[in-house]
Amino acid sequence: MKRALVTGATGFVGANLARRLLREGHEVHLLLRCGYAPWRIEAIRDDVRLHEVDLGDGEALAGLVAGIRPDWVFHLAAHGAYSSQTDLHQMVQTNFVGTLNLVEACLKAGFDAFVNTGSSSEYGFKDHAPSEEELIEPNSHYAVTKASATLFCRHAAQSRNAPLTTLRLYSVYGPFEEPTRLIPTLIMHGLSGGLPPLVNPSIVRDYVYVEDVSDAYLLAAGRAGRAPGAVYNVGTGTQTSLRQVVAMARRVMDIAAEPKWGSMPDRQWDTGTWVADNRRIVSELGWQPRYTLEHGFRATVGWFLDNPSMRDYYGARRKERAQT
């Protein structure tokens, strides 16, 4: 058993990782910001230890981490990943200052492994699958702050010989995903036999199921003897177009409605190439995605069907969004 500390556990990936750690018998501590949204962790709050703290308050954070003395640290707290999160100051405070404070606090307390969460957006637009050693060209405020945090973590690890790793995540999907994202939106419309408004069908992503991503976090923590500051791309290595995703969803959910392409405007981050070069994480950590897109999609549909309260929550969020 390890004593694990998780930031960002009220977010999509963090909530899944916290559950995975509990299933594997670890002691789980969640660092939460004041005023956090509890819906993703309500079912596990009695099984974890909750600590409210501002990652921007270095002194308070250092005292808290010293008291917990975690073996494993998983840093997933972030701001700016969703189109509704546009506050640059908050991105800097959460993504960079918060990361700096947490790393410094953990270095003082000591740890066996620290896994930072990066983003594929750090690369910017590429016409190929970029490797971890390739020049990063972030093209948004969010991407700039995430890239800065990755560079800081790499420097801290190498200068202090610390077991600190960064995972650059591609397009993660699965249970508890943000209601406004593509996969849950497709499923919620599909349960009623319809399809949502859609952008250009040629837009692509490298979709990776959240359980495969949890595998990556655990491997990165459990094999912390690798080179300090290592960065790993976490994606399947296969890009899928929106046309293919919708066709798969229509087949799996027996949706009769026809897609209306271009009924939603393209976003500034949409691109025709977005795929991971995952050779490093495969060779160095032994990670392999266990879920195909269809397998993961079916699992996510099953989660919605098995959790009517979540369907109600997602439905309410859809209505709220339609009214704004």
DSSP helix, strand, coil percent of the chain (3-state; round to 5): 45, 15, 40
- How much is the pTM? 0.96
Q: CA 158 to CA 222: how far, in whole Å?
A: 19
306 in the same domain as 249:
yes
117 pLDDT band (50/70/90 cuts)? very high
Pairing status of strand 3-7 against strand 27-32: parallel
Hey, what long-range contacts does 154-158 have (CB within 8 A, 24 or more apart)? 154/229, 154/231, 155/229, 156/103, 156/107, 156/229, 157/228, 157/229, 158/228, 158/229
For the cut 90, the answer to whether the pLDDT of residue 93 exceeds it is yes
Query: How confident is the model at residue 225, as a pLDDT?
Result: 64
CATH code at position 312: 3.90.25.10
Q: What is the pLDDT of residues 224-246, one digit of tens each?
A: 667 899 999 999 999 999 999 99
Q: Which domain holds residue 250?
A: 178-205+240-273+293-323
Q: CA 166 to CA 75: how far, in whole Å?
A: 9
Q: Is residue 306 part of a domain?
A: yes
96 in the same domain as 194:
no
Q: CA 217 to CA 26: how far, in whole Å?
A: 14
Q: Are 113 and 73 in contact (CB under 8 A)?
A: yes
Q: CA 220 to CA 215: how far, in whole Å?
A: 9
Query: How confident is the model at residue 24, as a pLDDT?
Result: 97
200 pLDDT band (50/70/90 cuts)? very high
250 in the same domain as 302:
yes
Query: How confident is the model at residue 268, as a pLDDT?
Result: 67
91 pLDDT band (50/70/90 cuts)? very high
Q: CA 307 to CA 302: how far, in whole Å?
A: 9
Instruction: Give the DSSP H or E segment for 89.
Output: helix 88-91
For the cut 90, the answer to whether the pLDDT of residue 69 exceeds it is yes
Q: Is residue 286 part of a domain?
A: no
Q: Is residue 66 part of a domain?
A: yes
Query: How confident is the model at residue 86, as a pLDDT?
Result: 80
Q: Is residue 283 part of a domain?
A: no
Q: Is residue 287 part of a domain?
A: no
Number of compact structural domains in the chain: 2
